[in-house]
Structure 1
Amino acid sequence: MLTKKHLVEIKALQKVCEQEGGFQLKLNFDMLENRVGNYKEDFFHYEDGKLVGFLGSYGFGDKVELCGMVHPDYRRKGIFSSLLKMGIEEAKKRNSRTILLNAPTVSQTAKELVNTIPCTFSFAEYQMKWQETELSVDPAVILRSSFSKEDREAEIKLDVLCFEFKENEAKGFEQMIEENSSDQKLIIEVDGKTAGKMRVSESNGEAWIYGFAVFPELQGKGIGRKALSKVVKMEHQKGLPIFLEVEAKNAHALKLYESCGFRSYHSQDYYLYLD
């Protein structure tokens, strides 16, 4: 479990690196703040008591994403390579099938680094922010908190169908979210039946939408757009800026989000580690 001191140090280093590089790092603070200590997931490098290097490991089923940074004044000293080696070794101990290295698209330093690592470009992911747009709300689409056994079974099934999780991985992931996260888990309901799900994280004065999925047989009926519009209005009324992420290759989701007023402002590249 990370201490408050760790989190403060990570945020301070992040600020320096982002200001110097003109990009944004995806450090998943919602996950950093809810570490449970079952695995070694965070790797630090200190010089004279000062944090100058950090790598975070983020597990999603049998997939692990790695994202890190080194203070501009301490680069080209092998610090990141050392952190990355430790992160990859730990991921292998967890029998992770897929290891992804995450880097801001516009980071020239990251591009130079990945050329020295056995990896290949996999996909890009857009960070999107909602721009105030008139949205209509359909009362037939209901959002309710997820509590029942049936809700949990539906969430697992949606992870398998929409996010390519294996069933046991989906069970573990949903249990981890339920036990260690303050995120609000929502079920999308239409005509008394479960149609989909999403998760809303409110942290640091922002709202982020995660895990948004609709059963494949119900897609293309406007359910997703109506549910998204509803949660956006709900968070907007709280005065929070609203964000989400989407893979660039997911053209259908990208079009859906844009139709609700979301606009891309940043992107991350993911590289598949080859071993």
Structure 2
Amino acid sequence: MLTKEQLREIKTLQEICEQDGGFQLKLNFDMLENRTEDYKEDFFHYEDGQLVGFLGSYGFGNKIELCGMVHPDYRRKGIFTSLLNEVLKETKKREVKTILLNAPTHSLTAKAFLKTIPCTFSIAEYQMQWHQTELQGNQDINIRPSQSKDDWEAEVRLEVECFGFSEKEAREFNQSIRENNSEEMLIIEAEGQTAGKMRVAETNGEAWIYGFAVFPELQGKGIGRKALSNVVLMEHQKGFPIFLEVEAKNAHALRLYESCGFKSYHSQDYYLYLG
């Protein structure tokens, strides 16, 4: 578990790096604030008592994503390479099949570093923010907290059918979220039946929507758009700016989000580690 001082140091370093590079880092503070002690996920490098290098590891089933940074004044000293080697040693202790390195699309320093290690471009991801537009609440779609064993089983099935998890990974992932994160797990109901799910994290004065999925056999019926509209209106009434993420290759989801008033403001590139 990270201390408040460590979280403050990470935030300070993030602000320095983002201001210097003109980009945004995806450091997943909702996950950093809810670390467990099961295994080491965060790696630090200090010089003269100041945090100048950080690399975070974020697990999703048997996949991990890595995102980190080095202070502009301390680059080209091998700090990030050293941090990456520490992470790779740690991953050998776990059942990790896929390692993705996250880099802001417009970070020249990140792209230069990635050329020095065995990796290949995998996917691009957009961060999107909702811009106020007229949305209708939908009485025929019910959004409620996930509570029962049947809800749990539906969430596992949605992870498998919509996100490519194995059943074992889906169960472990959902258990980890329930134990360690403060996200609200929501079930989408249509005509009295479970149709999908999503998670909403209210953190640092923002609302983020994650894991939004509708069963494949129910897609194309407008359920997703109605459910998203209901949740956006709910969070907007609370006064939160609303954000979500979507893979660039997911054209259907991209169109759905844009039709509800979301606009892309930043992008991240993911590289598959081949070492």
Shorter-chain TM band: over 0.9
Structure 2: give runs of 5+ residues left out of the alignment: none
Identity of aligned residues (%): 74
- Do the aligned partners of 1:88 and 1:99 also contact (CA within 8 Å) in 2? no
1:111 pairs with 2:76: no
Q: Aligned partners of 2:56 and 2:249: how far apart in 1?
A: 25
Amino acid at match of 2:176: M
Q: What is the correspondence of 1:47-86 to structure 2 with a 5 Å cutoff?
A: 47-86=47-86
**What residue in structure 1 maps to residue 128 of structure 2?**
128
- Report the Cα distance in structure 2 between the residues aligned to 1:139 and 1:252, rounded to whole angstroms: 24
In 2, Cα distance between equivalents of 1:92 and 1:271: 19
SS of residue paired to 1:93: coil
Map of 1:186 onto structure 2: 186
Question: Partners in 1 of 2:265 and 2:232 — Cα distance?
Answer: 18
Calculate the aligned-residue CA RMSD, in Å: 0.6
Q: Which runs of 5+ in 1 are unaligned?
A: none
Instruction: Map Cα deviations across residues 117-167 of structure 1 (whole Å, 9 max, x no partner).
Output: 100000100000000010012101000000100000000000011111111
Residue deviations 1:65-123, cap 9 Å, x none?
A: 00000000000000000001111222232121110000000000011010001000001
- Cα distance in 2 for partners of 1:37, 1:101 equals 23
Tell me the residue number matched to 2:19.
Answer: 19
Contact 1:208–1:244 (CA under 8 A) maintained in structure 2 = yes
Contact persistence 1:200–1:208 (CA under 8 A) = yes
Report what 2:264 is aligned to: 264
Structure 1 residue runs of 4 or more that deviate by more than 2 Å after TM superposition: none
Query: Are 2:197 and 1:177 equivalent residues in the alignment?
Result: no
- In 2, the alpha carbon distance for the partners of 1:170 and 1:134 equals 35
CA distance in 2, matches of 1:66, 1:229: 32
Normalised by the size of structure 1, how large is the TM-score? 0.99
- Looking at structure 2, the residues matched to 128 and 121 of structure 1 have their Cα atoms a distance apart, in angstroms, of 21
Whichever residue aligns with residue 29 of structure 1, its letter is F
SS in 1 for 2:269: strand
Structure 1 residue 180: Cα displacement: 1.4
- Number of aligned positions between the proteins: 275
TM-score of the aligned structures, taking structure 2 as reference length: 0.99
Match of 1:95 in 2: 95
